[in-house]
Amino acid sequence: MKRQPSTRIVIADDHPLFRGALRQAVSTALEGADVSEVGSLEALTEVLNAGGDADLVLLDLTMPGVQGFSGLLFLRADHPEVPVIVVSAHDDPAVIRRCIEFGALGFLPKTADVEQMGEAIRAVLEGGVWTPPGIDLNAPVDAETATMVRNLSSLTPQQVRVLMMLSEGLLNKQIAYELGVSEATVKAHVSAILTKLNVDSRTQAVIAAAKIAGTAWATTGASATL
């Protein structure tokens, strides 16, 4: 199936060899596609904010600047109009379902062949959802997890960044420096995060996020105060 050269795909993965495999899959599936490659969440943000609408992002779950599902959460909050296919070596069915719950329209295991990659890319560009065969997206989810997924999805891009930094054990002053904002602004973000996640402390917020993201979010070092 051929598409116009204006189709713009952004590959976000920190492994050059796998980016090359994805580029090959895109070139095979979409003749003339405009393909950009980045190796971190920061670089992805810069590309998307630089102008020119992206038709699709192929997003690695584990690259610099990303913890657990935080990259997906950030991207969906910052650019909700851009379709996302997650590419990951973590192909557990629960991980795949969580990615879809957080707004991805597809999930590609890194073990997928070029044909499957092309199939997924075409399906999502045509408005569908693609997951590996045998994945039941309708599997029941317990109420507590469903609520936390919904709450995490309500965070703004900056709140996602702050939560990521909380999980690294950074203090308000350090977060303010990293984000280039005042400590008062960081404190306001933390308060908003606690309210949205329905928890009472920074530590509880990080633990709540860790329950959703598995072991990918660190839970050590978070202070229990604002």
Instruction: Check residue 55 and give its pLDDT.
Output: 92
Is the Cβ–Cβ distance between 99 and 87 less than 8 Å?
Answer: no
Q: Report the domain count for the chain.
A: 2
Statement to judge: residues 85 and 152 lie in one domain: no
44 belongs to a structural domain? yes
Statement to judge: residues 151 and 108 lie in one domain: no
Report the C-alpha dihedral over residues 57, 66, 193, 143, rounded to 10 degrees: 70
CATH code of 161's domain: 1.10.10.10
- DSSP code for 82: S
2 belongs to a structural domain? no
pTM (two decimals): 0.82
Q: What range defines the domain where residue 30 resides?
A: 8-125
Over the stretch 116-150, which tens digit does the pLDDT of each residue have?
888 999 999 999 999 988 888 777 777 877 888 88
Percent of the chain with pLDDT over 70: 90
Residue carrying the six token digits 């973590």: 90
Long-range contacts for 76-81 (Cβ within 8 Å, ≥24 apart)? Answer: 76/102, 76/103, 76/104, 76/153, 77/153, 77/155, 77/156, 77/157, 77/160, 78/45, 78/48, 78/157, 79/48, 79/54, 81/53
Is the Cβ–Cβ distance between 219 and 208 less than 8 Å?
Answer: no
Is the Cβ–Cβ distance between 91 and 61 less than 8 Å?
Answer: no
Residue 91: band (very low, low, confident or very high) from pLDDT cuts 50, 70, 90: confident
Instruction: Check residue 213 and give its pLDDT.
Output: 61
Helix (H) or strand (E) holding 33: none
Distance between CA atoms of residues 204 and 201, nearest Å: 5
